[in-house]
A and B are shown apart, each in its own frame.
Chain A
Amino acid sequence: MAMGRRDTFKLAGVAAAAAVMPSMATASEKKVAKKATGKSVVIIGAGFGGLTIAKALKKSDKSIDVTVIEKRSMHMACPLSNGLLGGLDNMSLSMFVGDYSQPATKYGYSFVNSEVTSIDRKAKKVTTSTAGDIAYDILVLSPGIAYDYEKQFPKWDAAKIAHVAQSCPAALMPGNEHIALLRQLENMDDGNVYIVPPAKGKYRCPPAPYERTAMIANYLKKEGIKGKVIVLDTRGGKFAKGKAFQESWKDLFADYIEYKGFTEVTDVDPVAKTITYTEFKDADDEKGVSKTEKYEVCNLIPINKCSPVIAMAGIEHNGAGYAMMDGYSFRSKTDKNIYVIGDAVTHKIPPSGQTAIWGAHRAAGQIVAQLNGKVDDPKKGLPAKAANVCFSMVGGKPEEAIMVTHTFSADKSGVLKGKGNVPKPKDGNGKFRSKGTAKATREWFGGVMREMFA
């Protein structure tokens, strides 16, 4: 059907009106769209920490008014997603996603799909890009991480960073990056190389790059591709569940995995698909040798930093943006009405999904106590045995996994600290990995999804 000029105008008119409306709404609601009730808790971030604490607060005290603000419109979970990349049986994207309205409706909290643009601690309000201002009595920050390409590659300009970030997805923040990696994997062919440079310093999910190494090797083996996974590491084999991973790599994928323990990535050319790095003999070698490798997929995991939301709140944080904590609690050191959970804390506990859930429950207890004029002992229940349980898939046929447990305790340094233990399972025949542990991995994942959504 041909469209006349008048029709075009009409359409343009509608579009213009639609474009104006949200900003008008924002302007009229500028004062305060949502007032605090005296028991209003606003949560920024609907990841593992945010969704857990929203539900936990409503479950322990229905009279608390809870609002969750999240910039994404859909939740995707990160744990177990390496299994999806690795082509494990019975894995699909739908296992990893959830809609925010489900728990919000069930537990009676508000969900606001918008981005936080500023936080005013004095006025106790949060400004959002599309939903006006939201006032709080208690603010919970669960904003997660950001990538720090600038720190790792000071010579790169913004355009280069954007290009590399898109072409070489890190896939620590679930969603688009994982889907891009999945697509890139499909292009792998005989003789191709998949590069994994794990991040230096503190980063989300310490075992992730090494689990991914095993899972990509599994993918190559399963698809009959004579390719290779090259790990350009800085840790000389001393990484999360290191012995357990290396045992599995050697037993299952010796022909597929090449691990280089002392390297430094110096440049990536996403057009030529090459990565340049310096390889050192050992930890003492300062000179090293520069090498360039051609890759098909480059899963560059850059240095992590904290989401800028912590700095936006104007609370004390360390050099990488992670919030300074009030002793063993999950409260900010600076502001008694601000709590921080998930990966954004400076407690020395591993940044994992289960740690985020654990911290969210503790923070919920502390908040409920504060709102009711009581004090919740932040050392209550410490040391907490198996506070973190973290599984990693290491094999596909048969499906096998390894695990680590962490005990969290009150460290002398004044913060929470985790101590890990990598056990050998009863059904592992002396190995770190077992089929039972893989089943536990899937059950673990079902559990954390139920925690947030059921």
Chain B
Amino acid sequence: MERRNFLKLSGTSAAAIAIAPSLITKRLYAEDGSLFQTFEKVQLNDAEGNPLKASKLVKEENYVFMYPHAATPAILVDLPEPTGKDIKLKAEDGTEYIFKGGAGEKGTVVAFSAICAHQLTHPQKAMSMFQYVPTTGKTLAYEKPGVFVCSSHLAAYDPKQGGKVVGGPANQGLAQIVLEIDKEDNIWAVAVLGPDKFQEFFDAFKSEHKAEFGRRGAKKLVKTEAKVQTLKNFSAEIIQA
């Protein structure tokens, strides 16, 4: 290796170190002080690899996809009504962030990281205790349906308020998966807003992840496309209290 190459390389690594702290905590602060981090821009496709169309979504169906990591599940829902806009939310550590609203023509399409902010319950292949309860449903966790519910400890989150905790033991809301819908009606996942639980999730389920994704596969970033399927298809059993 020539000396100039060596210098170039060390220049790169110095830059990497300078960015590292915020990457490690996974908290990049946008100008408005919110918790916001962009990840790979990923297109949401169906099982056959065809683009999912926003206008074809079944209202209030739970759609599961992995984002931003190979093992971190998210749930997309087309709500019956538009979400609120510019809602101020607070993370456990006091950091404020702002939920801009749902995507789509009417602002009804939302996605949230499906890892419960309380104790990390999430949809698994064998079963799911974490899901959106449609407005026709019933839950013990909150006075009204139309909320995300974790049936393990009855945490309830309101998607219309950006995943805010409305019932149960969680201390902060769900992280939002920020979506973009393009002119062709295609859906893209682009970023994560709010306090995510990814690192805790990887720590807590290390052995399960190793069995399913290999030693380092769980943390791999999802690239280009994410396959979407309904929760009832994804999980063998759905348990909802």
Question: Does residue B129 face the partner (Cβ distance < 8 Å to A)?
Answer: yes
B239 touches A439 (CB 8 A): yes
**Quick one: given A60-B94, A450-B204, are A440 and B151 in contact (CB under 8 Å)?**
yes
- 7 closest pairs, A vs B, by CB? A447-B119, A386-B154, A454-B204, A443-B152, A436-B239, A450-B204, A386-B168
Give the interface segment out of A21-29, A341-349, A354-362: A354-362
User: B153 — which chain A residues lie within 8 A by C-beta?
Assistant: 354, 386, 389, 444, 447
Most-contacted residue by chain A among B116, B118, B154, B200 (CB, 10 A): B154
Q: A440-B129, A447-B119 are in contact. Are A454 and B200 (CB under 8 A)?
A: yes
**Judging by beta carbons under 8 Å apart, are A443 and B204 in contact?**
no
Assess the A386–B141 pair: CB atoms within 8 A: yes
Residues of B contacting A443 in the complex (Cβ-Cβ under 8 angstroms): 121, 129, 152
Closest beta carbon of chain A to B117's beta carbon, Å: 12
Residues of A within 8 A of B203 (CB): 106, 454
**CA–CA, A436 and B235, complex, Å:** 14
In the bound complex, residues from chain A placing their C-beta under 8 Å from that of B169 are 354, 357-358, 361, 386-387
B240 touches A454 (CB 8 A): no
**Chain B neighbourhood of A447, CB < 8 A:** 116, 118-121, 152-153
| Chain A interface size range | 20 to 34
Q: A385-B142, A403-B241 are in contact. List 7 more A-B contacts (CB 8 A).
A: A59-B92, A386-B141, A389-B152, A440-B151, A446-B119, A447-B119, A447-B120
Q: Is B28's beta carbon under 8 Å from chain A? A: no
Interface size on B, residues (CB 8 A): 29
Instruction: Establish whether residues A385 and B168, one from each chain, have CB atoms under 8 Å apart when the complex forms.
Output: yes
**1/0 contact trace for A425-443 toward B, CB 8 Å?**
1110000000011011001
A448 interface contact, C-beta 8 A: yes
Contacts known (A386-B168, A389-B153, A405-B154); A440 close to B93, Cβ less than 8 A: no
Interface string of B122-133 (1 = CB under 8 A from A): 000001010000
The one of B127, B141, B240 that contacts A385, using a Cβ cutoff of 8 Å = B141
CB contacts (< 8 Å) of A444 on chain B: these are 152-153
18 interchain pairs (CB within 8 A)? A106-B203, A385-B142, A385-B154, A385-B167, A386-B140, A386-B153, A387-B168, A389-B152, A389-B153, A405-B140, A421-B140, A423-B140, A436-B239, A446-B119, A447-B118, A450-B200, A454-B120, A454-B203
In the bound complex, CA of A415 to CA of B169 (Å): 19
Output the least CB separation between B35 and chain A (Å). 15
In the bound complex, CA of A426 to CA of B169 (Å): 22
The verdict on A177 contacting chain B, using a C-beta distance below 8 Å, is no
In the complex, A421→B94 CA distance in Å? 33
**A451 at interface (Cβ–Cβ under 8 A)?**
yes
- Min Cβ gap A368→B in Å is 9
1/0 per residue A55-78: CB within 8 Å of B? 010011000000000000000000
Q: In the bound complex, how far is the Cα of B200 from the Cα of A421, in angstroms?
A: 32
Contact B121–A389 (Cβ < 8 Å): no
Contact B93 A59 (CB under 8 A): yes
Greatest chain B CB density within 10 A among A59, A405, A440, A444 is at A440
Q: Are B239 and A440 in contact (CB under 8 A)?
A: yes
Docked pose: A358 CA to B118 CA in angstroms = 11
CA of A385 to CA of B166, assembled, Å: 9
Alpha-carbon distance A290/B9, docked complex (angstroms): 88
Are B241 and A440 closer than 8 Å at their CB atoms? yes
When chains A and B are docked, how far (Å) is the Cα of A45 from the Cα of B83? 44
B237 adjacent to chain A (CB < 8 Å): yes
Q: How far is the CA of A448 from the CA of B119 in the complex (A)?
A: 7
Residues of B within 8 A of A436 (CB): 237, 239
Q: Which of B192-228 contact A (CB under 8 A)?
A: 200, 203-204
- In the complex, the answer to whether B92 meets A60 with C-beta atoms within 8 Å is yes
Known contacts being A447-B118, A454-B120, A454-B203, is A440 close to B152, with CB within 8 Å? yes
B137 to chain A, nearest CB (A): 10
| Bound Cα distance A454, B118 (Å) | 12
Contacts of B152 in A (CB 8 A): 389, 440, 443-444, 447
| Complex Cα spacing A427 to B169, Å | 24
B38 at the interface (CB under 8 A from A): no
In whole angstroms, how far apart are the Cα atoms of A448 and B116 in the complex?
Answer: 13
Chain A residues 402 to 419 lying within 8 A of chain B, measured CB to CB, are 403, 405
B154 to chain A, nearest CB (A): 4
Which residue of A is nearest B165, CB measured?
Answer: A381
Counting chain B CB atoms within 10 Å of each CB, the highest count among A403, A447, A448 belongs to A447
Closest A-chain residue to B155, C-beta based? A386
Measured between C-beta atoms, what is the minimum distance from A385 to chain B in Å? 5
Assess A425 versus B241: contact at CB under 8 Å? Given A389-B153, A440-B152, A447-B119. yes
Instruction: Choose from B93, B120, B141, B240 the contact partner of A60 (Cβ within 8 Å).
Output: B93
B169: shortest Cβ distance to chain A, in Å? 6
**Most chain A C-beta atoms within 10 Å of own C-beta, residue among B119, B142, B237:** B119
A451 to B120, CA, bound (A): 9
Give the complex CA separation of A440 and B128 in angstroms: 10
**Chain A min CB distance to B138 (Å):** 8
Kindly list chain A residues whose C-beta atoms are within 8 Å of the C-beta of B94.
Answer: 60
Chain B contacts for A354, CB-based, 8 A: 153, 169
Chain B: minimal CB distance from A445 (Å): 9
Given the interface pairs A386-B169, A444-B152, A447-B120, the reply to whether A439 lies near B237 with Cβ below 8 Å is yes
**Nearest residue, chain A, Cβ from B240:** A426
Chain A residues, CB < 8 A from B233: none
Q: Which B residues lie within 8 Å of A386 (CB)?
A: 140-141, 153-154, 167-169
Smallest CB-CB separation from B143: which chain A residue?
A385
* B171 contacts the other chain (CB 8 A): yes
Bound Cα distance A68, B169 (Å)? 23
Which residues of chain A are within 8 angstroms of B129 by Cβ–Cβ distance?
A: 439-440, 443
Q: How far is the CA of A56 from the CA of B170 in the complex (A)?
A: 12
